[in-house]
Structure formats: structure tokens, C-alpha cells
Structure 1
Amino acid sequence: MMGNILVTGASGFIGSFIVEEALRRKYAVWAGVRSTSSRRYLKEEGIQFMELDFAHPEVLHAQLSEYKKVYHKFDYIVHCAGVTKCIDKREFEEVNYLQTKTFVDTLISLEMVPKQFIFVSTLSVFGPVREKFYTPICDADAPLPNTAYGLSKLKAERYVQDMPDFPYVIYRPTGVYGPRESDYYLMAKSIRQHMDFSVGYRRQDLTFVYVKDIVQAIFLGIEKNVRRKSYFLTDGQVYQSRAFSDLIQKELGNPFVIHLKCPLIVLKVISLLAEFVATRLGRSSTLNSDKYKIMKQRNWQCDITSTVEELGYVPQYDLEKGVRETIAWYKDEGWL
């Protein structure tokens, strides 16, 4: 065995792929889930499940204590648990920041700090910077998150960074796509119905990263034994606004698609209305005021030089290859 690894948020999109790769690499894998979590993508033999209640510190303390009695501590922890959309924006703060803080504090109090605490963050912690000249965002830039989601992730980052000698490794992926992902699926579904929407008339530079390349980077970081480092993740390319939708259209074999540009003011109104209706119905909405700010951002370039040089990271998927594999999966699973 390569060691014990805990993946929180294991039932989620990114987490489930990390679990699969950890099993392939012969780790003893613990899938951190909630009692209500779906285990649809966690059916491989060898997965050990661990219910973790980050919302209640006393319960979390007891759950981790039980593990410690038998196994001492985890060698590696990949913290994927979090929310990307919610009914009340205060939930971002509660889940992405405060529950991460609780988790870290509990590990320290139980003397269960791992060799690496890997935190899956987001490029959104930086917000709309470098938009005037469209140059890559870099680690030295001052973060200016303009969304509740980005701010909550930034606060979690800063908490682990400010903890003396805490062995964090932070990954900041840009737009993540791949099989099992549901938001980009909505774009594919719309294009299958002959409609495609883009936002704004000003140039927009986009970056993407395929989910399996995130997984690759995480295990490279483990192999290199890096500590107290942060890394951006993209496929190394920069795309214009229609690149993703054009590739979806190609893979669907759909020759007729109406491409509509939505003015930002119209998108803002629609986003606020969707958020209002969803809140009244007690649901989260894919389109909301936070999502509007993300879609409004014009520059998503970021510098992955340190990721390449320090980890030996070489993206295996450009957008064309990644979209081809993703659409094939959607078709095989009956999503499209």
C-alpha cells in the first residue's frame, strides 16, 4: 500500500475521480461522505467509507477519534468537500470556510495532521484581475474575489496558510469539466436543442482544465512531497468564448445551432430573477448573482509555470480531447 488517503467530498464530481485514481495507485482509500451522499460513483472494491460531520465539531472530533484508535492518522488528506452553489450565500462562508477551519483545528487537536493537507480551491479566489491587458493571473497578484464563493475559498486558503508549519498544498483550477459534471452538461443540452448563449460583447479569454488533469496534479504533488505551496491548474491553453460550445456542437454532429449573445445587463436581470425564484422555492439555482459575476469576468488566464516546473505537470487533455471524452460519456450514460 502507498499509504492511507482520505478524500472528503468523495461523492462529488472531482472527489470521485480522485478516489478512483488513489485506488489504482494502491492507496488505502477512505471516502469522506455525508450520511445523505450518493455513492453512485463510489462502487469500486476497496473503498472504505467514513461519515464526516463538519458542521458539528464535537461529532467530527468523535468520528476522527474512532479512526485514530485503529489507524493513528491519515498519510494524505484531499479536502474536496464544499459547495459551489447554495440557497443562501451565507452557506458559502459556513461550508467552504468555517467547516474547513473546524476540520483543520480538529486534526491539529487530535495530533492527526497528515503529511499533506491538499485543499482544492479555485481560480475565483482572485476575481476579475488583469482584465485591462489580458495577462495571466499569478500567485503574486492581490486576490480580489467578487463572489461569495470565491471569498469563502480565499478565507479557507488564508487560514491554512497562516497555520505555522501546516503542510498544505493548494490547487486553484480554472473551469473544470469532464464526465459527471452537471453545469457544462447544461450547455451541451442547450446546444443539442439548437441554442447556444454567450455573454457580453467584449473579448473574453477562457481557460479550462479536464478533471483527470486535476487528479494528475494532485498525485504529482504527493510524489514530489511538496508542502506549503499553491498551484494554478489549466490545460495550458487560452480559448475564446465560443471554443467550448463549438467543440460540443462538433461532437454532437449538430450542424444547425443558433448562437445568441446576451448583453451583460440582460444576464444580470435574468440571474437575479432566477436566484429570487429559486430562493422562494427553497432550491439552489445554477444561474444566480454569483454565477453572473463569474460569467461576466473577461480574463481567466493564469500562470501555470510553477505547476509545470515544480510538479512535472503536463496536461494530458486539451479542450478538443476533453470535450470529445465528456460528450461520449454523456451519451453513454443517457444524459444526451
Structure 2
Amino acid sequence: MKKVLITGATGFVGYHLINKALAAGLEVYAAVRPDTDRTHLKEFDIQYTHLDYSSVDSLKRELEEKQYQYIIHAAGITKAKTKEAYNKVNAEYSRNLALAANTAAINLEKFVFVSSLAALGPLTDLTAEIQDDTPGRPVTNYGASKLLAEQYLAEISGLPLIVIRPTAVYGPREKDLFILFNSINKGLEPHIGSFTQQLSFVYVTDLATVIVKALFSSLVSRQFNVSDGHVYNRYALADGLKKALHKKTLKFHLPVPVVGAMAALMDIFYAKSRNTPALNKEKMAELTAINWACNIGHVKADLGYDPEFDLEKGLNETVSWYKSNNWL
């Protein structure tokens, strides 16, 4: 049985990656931090390991000891106070793991890096879609750190690399979009501004499926954007939630300058806190972008990606999970 190392295993996407990797017949090693709660992973027959991402030598020893054939690098941070913090974890640590994997005495067949559509950034007009080879113009430090990671990994000669760039991911266990779920459930439907937007989404199990498919592909040195293949208007998410929750809401539009001021205040309020607010100036840049539509023609043709969930079906599944687990 071949072995796969999954980093970020205790996270939202990591849970679903473990499930799909096991279903594919792989022996799963989950990289976790010693202090991280992994109660929700007890249902899986997997092994655990701890990684020191700051040391290439330490990582190399770990890889050689376990002899992994596959690596899915999904670890990273989506919230940080500084550009340097994002770059250290998302870019430098990714490079260290890839360097270790490429120089270790192992038979590495594939290194899949889970990046983000944020690495390319949104488009500034509504007439096009983000392509796999669209030049990166990220609008956040998070997106810039993911783009930097991609650039670092691309420079490592011989690395059997595939980059997966998911758009906004949702599904069971997701916590950021859950804020909107909770708001809709309470009858409140806030929107930032009233300008036209084109958005894209991907259900987490579809994402996990295509990432595991990438492990077994003969392709290397490729990047793929991933969504459910549809383009949605700015109201589609809220409308889908209202339908799934059987709720009527009070819809209201907050002026962009007002929300921007709120975001700036949140940055000030959290300046000395270890936590990062859900709304800040960085997040505003993504939330107010007009076009996150992306083309998935290549990932469908080259990796056999066939998304099972559109937004309506995915939201129904997600709401059902939230309710059965007492989140709603």
C-alpha cells in the first residue's frame, strides 16, 4: 500500500482529503501540530506525524523514515497580521518541504501543492475568466504568499509538482462562510455595496476528489484552477442559503466606505491581539472584487475532474451537516 503525507490534516479541507485518500486505497499519514485537537479524525484509520517546517534537514529525515510516495501539502495560514508572517508559513515552509521531498532518498511520485485562486487575484472586468496561466495579481498578502510559494516550488528542478488553486471552498466543517450561514438563519442578509459581481465556489468534497486524482496523474509542472464550473452573481450564495434553510430575510446593502471603515477599525481593535478579525482591510479587497469567475476546462480534460456539486446541491448538504451537528 502506497503512503501519502497530508499536511494541514486537521483543517477543514484536510479532513476531506483524508477521507478521499483512504477511499483511494492509500495509507495516510496526517501531519499535525502536537497541540492541535484531532478528535474529529478519530473515525479514520490513519497514522500521525509532526513536522518541523523550519528545517529542511529535519523534514528530509522524516520523509526518509516514512518513505512516502505522495505528498499533499495543504497546510498554511489564511489569517495573519503581517506580510512576513504569511510568507514564512505559506511560502518559505512550503519551499522547505518541497526541497526536502526533492532531495530525500524516497521514491516521490507526486507533490500536490494546494494553493488558492487568491494567488492570481480577481479580474477587474466582467468579460473574462481567470485562466490557469493568468498572470498573478493578488490583492491580499495571503494571495501574494501563495503566489510566492508557487514561484518557489516551480524553481525546484525535478519536483513532480501539480498546483491546485481552489476558489472559495465551502462545505461541512467550514467556519468562515459559516458566518453568513448563521446570519441568514437569523433572518439577516447583509451585502457590501450593490455593484455587479461574478463569483465562483467549489464544494469541499469535489476539491478533495480532484486533489487525490492529481496524485495519480502522469502530469507534472502544471497548475489548475478549480471551481464547480459555474459563475454566480453576488446574490446566489445568500439565495441558496435562504432556500436551503427555508428562511426569509431582511436584505440590506451596506455602503462600501462604511464597511471599509469598519474593517479598518477592526484592524486597530485587534492590533495587539493574537487573533485576526473575520473582517479586515485585506478581506475587503477580496469581498469587493468584481470578478472571481475561473475557467476549469484544463482540470476537467487533464485530470478527469467532474464536479458533483453545484452551489444549490452543495449548500443543501452543508446546511444538513450544520444542523445535524448543532452548528445551526
Q: Which interval holds the TM-score relative to the shorter structure?
A: over 0.9
Tell me the distance in 1 between the aligned counterparts of 2:159 and 2:132.
19
SS at match of 1:225: coil
Shift of 1:82: 0.1
SS at match of 1:230: strand
Tell me the distance in 2 between the aligned counterparts of 1:40 and 1:64.
28
Identity of aligned residues (%): 33
| CA contact 1:51–1:63 (8 Å) conserved in 2 | no
Relative to the length of structure 1, the TM-score reads: 0.93
The 1:285/1:112 distance shift into structure 2, 3 A limit, reads farther
Match of 1:30 in 2: 29
Root mean square deviation of aligned Cα? 1.6
Structure 2 segments unaligned to the other structure (5+ residues): none
The alignment status of 1:253 with 2:249, answered yes or no, reads no
Structure 1 segments unaligned to the other structure (5+ residues): none
Please list, as runs of the form range in 1=range in 2, the aligned pairs for 1:113-132 lying within 5 A after superposition.
114-129=108-123, 131-132=124-125
| CA contact 2:32–2:50 (8 Å) conserved in 1 | yes
Match of 2:17 in 1: 18
Shift of 1:111: 3.4
Match of 1:202 in 2: 195
The alignment status of 1:104 with 2:98, answered yes or no, reads yes
| CA contact 1:34–1:53 (8 Å) conserved in 2 | no
Tell me the distance in 2 between the aligned counterparts of 1:268 and 1:112.
50
The alignment status of 1:157 with 2:153, answered yes or no, reads no
The alignment status of 1:41 with 2:40, answered yes or no, reads yes
Shift of 1:264: 1.8
Please list, as runs of the form range in 1=range in 2, the aligned pairs for 1:31-180 lying within 5 A after superposition.
31-54=30-53, 56-57=54-55, 61-62=57-58, 64-66=60-62, 68-69=64-65, 71=66, 73-112=67-106, 114-129=108-123, 131-180=124-173
The 1:66/1:176 distance shift into structure 2, 3 A limit, reads closer
Q: Deviations over 1:184-236 (max 9, x none)?
A: 11001111121111122221001100000111111222233221111110111
Shift of 1:5: 0.3
The alignment status of 1:236 with 2:236, answered yes or no, reads no
User: How many aligned positions are there?
Assistant: 328
Match of 1:319 in 2: 311
Amino acid at match of 1:101: R
The alignment status of 1:335 with 2:327, answered yes or no, reads yes
Amino acid at match of 2:57: H
Moved more, 237-246 or 279-288: 279-288
Match of 2:213 in 1: 220
2:258 to 249, 266, 275: 266
Relative to the length of structure 2, the TM-score reads: 0.95
Tell me the distance in 2 between the aligned counterparts of 1:113 and 1:290.
40
Amino acid at match of 2:64: K
Shift of 1:110: 2.6
SS at match of 1:169: strand
Shift of 1:263: 2.0
The 1:168/1:241 distance shift into structure 2, 3 A limit, reads same
| CA contact 1:275–1:289 (8 Å) conserved in 2 | yes
